[in-house]
Amino acid sequence: MSDSPDTGTRLNARRSHRKSRNGCGTCKRRKIKCDEHRPSCRNCIRHGVACSFAESGPSTPSQLGSGTDGDLSMLALELMHHYATSTHATLWSDPTVRSLWRGPVVSMALTRPYLMRSLLALSALHLAHNRPDERDRYTCVAIEYHQLALQQAAPLMSNLSRAEAEHIFLFSVSTFIFAPKTRPTISSSSARPASPTGSSSSAGPSFSPTP
């Protein structure tokens, strides 16, 4: 008995299907299908593992932005605006420390891309918490910005100069804030760092860890 037309169509479709070879290295090693979402695929985000897409970094700044060229992407502007108007106020309850992280710290970040990226990462993570419908997107952006910042800052730590010390300290504080909030198993209270002014942990970030 000959195959029906529908059966032949299905067989042809099956033969013409090609597996994508553009998946991330992490998914390939784990032998699972990669959705190829950038800057970090959703499988890696869901399992809390490093994605090779993010490790390699974007080929252009526009991969972190809205498609524009150059470092001044629309996404970076959105994140900086959100940081200056909202995120900084959630980091500390002490008004003096909040003011420090809104003004002087941002000014210092203008001369150190790794510090600026760490602030943008905090802003993206805050947006991920505030916008559940876009949580995956902003979480990916936050992780990517922070990984890029770490790649820039890490080499400076082995031979730290006096001129770099304050910037690295601020980057370390931002990392201390950022890291627990990408771990859903850590409670909100334990994720709050002590204030640099020496006050209790209640002065720490008030937005909850990102699930």
C-beta neighbour count of 207 within 10 angstroms: 19
C-beta neighbour count of 42 within 10 angstroms: 15
The pLDDT of residue 194 is above 90: no
Spans of all domains in the chain: 22-56, 63-203
The pLDDT of residue 41 is above 70: yes
pLDDT in the model for residue 89: 93
**Yes or no: domain 22-56 corresponds to CATH 3.60.15.10:** no
Provide the residue type at 131 as one letter: R
The pLDDT of residue 151 is above 90: yes
Return the closest-CA partner of residue 126 out of 63, 181, 184.
181
Q: How many angstroms separate the CA atoms of 202 and 196, rounded?
A: 12
Element counts in the chain: helices (H) and strands (E)? 11, 0
The 10s digit of each residue's pLDDT in 118-127 is 999 999 999 9
Spatial contact of 122 and 83, defined as CB atoms under 8 Å apart: yes
pTM exceeding the 0.75 threshold for the entire prediction: no
Q: How many angstroms separate the CA atoms of 138 and 128, rounded?
A: 5
pLDDT exceeding 70 applies to what percent of the chain? 61
- For the four alpha carbons of 148, 164, 169 and 174, in that order, the dihedral sign comes to negative
Q: How many angstroms separate the CA atoms of 42 and 137, rounded?
A: 10
The 10s digit of each residue's pLDDT in 130-147 is 999 999 999 999 999 999
Spatial contact of 180 and 186, defined as CB atoms under 8 Å apart: yes
Q: Give the chain's end-to-end CA distance (angstroms, integer).
A: 55
pLDDT in the model for residue 73: 80
pLDDT in the model for residue 103: 94
Mean pLDDT value across residues 158-162: 88
Q: How many angstroms separate the CA atoms of 152 and 160, rounded?
A: 13
Provide the residue type at 188 as one letter: S
Residue whose structure tokens are 């991969």: 63
